[in-house]
Each structure stands twice: as structure tokens, then as C-alpha cells.
Amino acid sequence: MFHLHFNLLMIFLKKQFVPLEHQLTNLFSKYNISKALRTEIQTKIEDQFRYLFSNSTPSDLQQQRALYEKNLIQTIRSSLKKNNLILRRLSMAYELLSNVLSLVPFITSKYSTTWNIGQLINKIL
């Protein structure tokens, strides 16, 4: 499996290198660089290109964290859906400060009992 992934990565990197290779060829022609020097420069740049991009793939730890965060988001969504709640995001930070004592705008549900609980909490505050 790793070998297949590595081969696919190398094929992808080779395709990504083609435009750079074309530019290098144009530069070599324009400045009359010898064939030996062309080969050396191109090989070093291609090796560096492969090294930099092959090391930027996510590690197992990053993949595990991404999976954990994806599952966490799915859990939050299903919990909100199960309880018929809608999560609202404020667009401006100052809107949060102006509504700190009013919980009714943040509690939205299909059922009026949730709205009534929010109003009751506002009266207590």
C-alpha cells in the first residue's frame, strides 16, 4: 500500500515539475548553458522539488488529528440535530458583547419550550 502511494506521489510530482522544467529549458537555451551544467542544475532542482513536496504530505499524527476533528464535528452536528437546535455564529465580535445578557437570540429551536426557557433565564438575569 505504501509503495503504491509513493508511486502515485512521484507521478503527481513529475507532472507538477513539467512547467518548471520547461522554464529551465528556456533559460538554459537563452543563456547558452553547457549540457553538463544543464543536467546537473536540472537534477539538483528536481531532487529538491521532490524532497520538499514529498515531505509536505500529512503525517500519521496529522491524519489522526484531522479524523478526530471530523468525528468531533459530526458528533456536535448530530447532537444539535437530535435536540432540534440551530447553532448561530455572530459576524462581529461587538455583537457578542451587546447581547451578553440576552440569551434568547442565541437559543433557537423548532419548539417554543426552548424559547420560553431562554426568556425565563433572561428574566432571572
Q: Which residue has the cell 431562554?
A: 118
Residue 110: pLDDT over 70 = no
Query: What is the per-residue pLDDT across 19-60, written as a single tens digit (0 to 9) for each?
Result: 999 999 999 998 898 999 999 999 999 999 888 877 655 677
What residue numbers bound the domain in which 19 lies? 2-57
* Measured distance CA(9)–CA(12) in Å, rounded: 5
Is 18 part of a structural domain of the chain? yes
Residue 101: pLDDT over 50 = no
Is 67 part of a structural domain of the chain? no
Is 79 part of a structural domain of the chain? no
Quote the number of domains for the chain: 2
Q: pTM of this prediction?
A: 0.42
Is 7 part of a structural domain of the chain? yes
Give the three-class secondary structure for 37: helix
CB 117 within 8 A of CB 107: yes
- Average pLDDT on 96-107 reads 50
The larger pLDDT score, comparing residue 89 to residue 80, is at: 80
- State the SS3 of 94-120: HHHHHCCCCCHHHCCECCHHHHHHHHH
Helix runs in the chain, H state only? 2-30, 35-54, 60-82, 93-98, 112-124
